[in-house]
Amino acid sequence: MIRIAVAQMQSNENVDENISRSLSLHAKAENGSADLIAYPEYQLYLADYSKKDEAFLAGKKIRNILPGFLDALRVPALINYPEVNGDRIYNTSAFVRDSKIQWKYRKIHLFNAFSRREGGVFSAGRKLQPGELMNEVKFSTLICYDLRFPELSRYFAISGGELLFYQAGWFGGENKADQWLTLLKATAIQNGLYVAGAGQTGPGFTGNSVVFDPDGKMIAYEKEKEGVIFADVSKDKVLRYRNDSALLSARRDDIYSLRIRRN
Q: Which domains does the chain have, with CATH numbers?
A: 2-245 (3.60.110.10)
Residue 199 forms beta bridges with which residues? 168
What average pLDDT is seen over the chain? 96
The answer to whether 211 touches 196, Cβ cutoff 8 Å, is yes
Cα separation, 40 vs 63, in Å, equals: 19
The pLDDT score that the predictor gives to residue 260 is: 62
Cα–Cα nearest to 128, from 111, 148, 103, 145: 103
pLDDT, tens digit, for every residue of 31-58? 999 999 999 999 999 999 999 999 999 9
C-beta of residue 19 within 8 angstroms of C-beta of residue 65: yes
Task: Provide the residue type at 204 as one letter.
Answer: G
pLDDT one digit per residue (tens) for the chain, 263 residues: 999 999 999 999 999 999 999 999 999 999 999 999 999 999 999 999 999 999 999 999 999 999 999 999 999 999 999 999 999 999 999 999 999 999 999 999 999 998 899 999 999 999 999 899 999 999 999 999 999 999 999 999 999 999 999 999 999 999 999 999 999 999 999 999 999 999 999 999 999 999 999 999 999 999 999 999 999 999 999 999 999 999 999 998 889 877 666 54
Percent of the chain at pLDDT > 90 equals 93
Which residue from 238, 179, 200 is spatially nearest to 38, judged by alpha carbons? 200
Query: pLDDT tens-digit profile of 193-234?
Result: 999 999 999 999 999 999 999 999 999 999 999 999 999 999
Nearest C-alpha neighbor of 169 from the set 45, 64, 14, 34: 45
- Cβ 199 vs Cβ 8: under 8 Å: yes
Q: What is the gyration radius of the CA atoms in the chain, in angstroms?
A: 17
